[in-house]
Amino acid sequence: MSDVVQRGKLVTLTYSITDDAGDVLEQNDLPLSFVYGGDTELIGGIDSALIGRKAGDTVTAVVPPDKGFGEHDPSMTFTDDIANVPPEFRRLGAEVPMQNEAGEQRTFYVTRIADGRLTVDGNHPLAGKTLRVHVRIHEVRDATPEDALTSGIHAVGRMMN
């Protein structure tokens, strides 16, 4: 049983995330690889649902808000007159960097423009949503030392440098 998902195996998968209505919120058709049991964590404990699975298997897991992107926090939503907002942010989906009194920076998103008012929200766009994560496993094999350096968050770090 060396080809099943377990600690130290390289797992290659694709996934999609849907909401309660079945609408696709995110989809990745390009296979992603990570070393199981390493420092890459999958959303909502999906890792544990993959244990013992093999290439070709599909797994669907329900991820409640507290295991996903958290509950929606109304205190992270602000509305102001559009005249007080710089023109470059006057469009839905615009990313607005904001800083609190402690100097911590966070990205807010323009979520609504109506009646001369603009609303920005600092919650993750998937906060407060119950998600369904659909995973298809494409490959499971022994991880090499090189895999540990080029998969998961290490690969993202290498692409960013």
| Fold agreement between 9-66+127-160 and 74-121 | no
pLDDT higher than threshold 50 for residue 93: yes
pLDDT, residue 112, reads: 94
What architecture is domain 9-66+127-160?
Roll (3.10)
pLDDT of residue 99: 85
Confidence of residue 159 (pLDDT cuts 50, 70, 90): very low
Within 10 angstroms of residue 135's Cβ, the number of other Cβ atoms is 21
Q: Which residue type occupies 61?
A: A
What is the pLDDT, as a whole number, of residue 46? 86
Q: How far is CA 50 from CA 113, 124, 152, in A?
A: 42, 26, 16
Other Cβ atoms less than 10 A from the Cβ of 132: the count is 16
Three-state secondary-structure class, residue 8: coil
Can you give the residue ranges of every domain in the chain? 9-66+127-160, 74-121
The beta-carbon contacts of 84-93 under 8 Å, at least 24 apart in sequence, are 85/118, 89/118, 89/120, 90/118
- The pLDDT tens digits of the residues spanning 101-136 come to 888 888 999 999 999 999 999 998 889 999 999 999
- Closest residue by Cα to residue 110 from 88, 126, 83: 88
CATH match of 74-121 with 2.60.40.10: no
Average pLDDT over residues 74-79: 93
pLDDT(161) > 70: no
pLDDT over threshold 90, residue 148: no
From 87, 97, 88, 103, select the one nearest 120 (Cα to Cα): 97
For the chain, first and last CA: distance in Å?
Answer: 38
Query: What was the pLDDT predicted at 125?
Result: 85
